[in-house]
Amino acid sequence: MGVSQLLLVGLVILLGLCGVLVPGVPGSWLVWAAVLWWALEDPQPVAWAVLMGATVVLFLSQVVRWVLPPRQLRESGATPRMAVYAGLGAFLGFFLLPVLGAVPGFMGGIYLCERLRLGRHGEARAALRTAMRRGGSSVCTELFTCLLIMGAWLGAVLWG
């Protein structure tokens, strides 16, 4: 697989990561489809292992999200700006504190957005709790899954 195709696969994965934060866009399925594309174009054992792992992780994520409360983020006061802060926080956290940092980064992004908007620690903390209860945990689960898949893909591409 050439560099240009790898860049396109990476771009589709990034588009899927952004799609997780936008209601109505099948972000996790875009990430999985990009990994499928990569595995079909570069049929090596590591590519198929990443695809199988991505499929299992995505399935488990869907089961977990089914158990969590449904998304009602608009009612909690969530804004597109909050989604950007949460997504950037999760992305930075994923790389700064490898893998596990995505969850505190996601929550930290929401807290920072609310702290800037509301100005007080207590109100920002209450807004964070409300956002997480109203569907933020579902978004965090899906975003964490997509970040895991992206990390596995990136590791496989860089490793071999």
pLDDT tens-place string over residues 95-136: 899 889 999 999 999 999 999 999 899 999 998 988 888 888
Residue 17: the pLDDT is 92
Task: Return the axis-axis angle of helices 137-159 and 45-67, rounded to nearest 10°.
Answer: 170
Residue 139: the pLDDT is 87
Residue 71: the pLDDT is 65
* Interatomic CA distance for residues 54 and 47, integer angstroms: 10
Residues 6+ apart with CB under 8 A from 145: 28, 57, 58, 60, 61
Residue 78: the pLDDT is 76
pTM over 0.85: yes
Residue 75: the pLDDT is 65
Take residue 105 and report the two structure tokens written for it: 């980064």
Local confidence band at 66 (pLDDT 50, 70, 90 cut-offs): confident
* Interatomic CA distance for residues 47 and 118, integer angstroms: 46
Q: What is the mean pLDDT of the chain?
A: 90
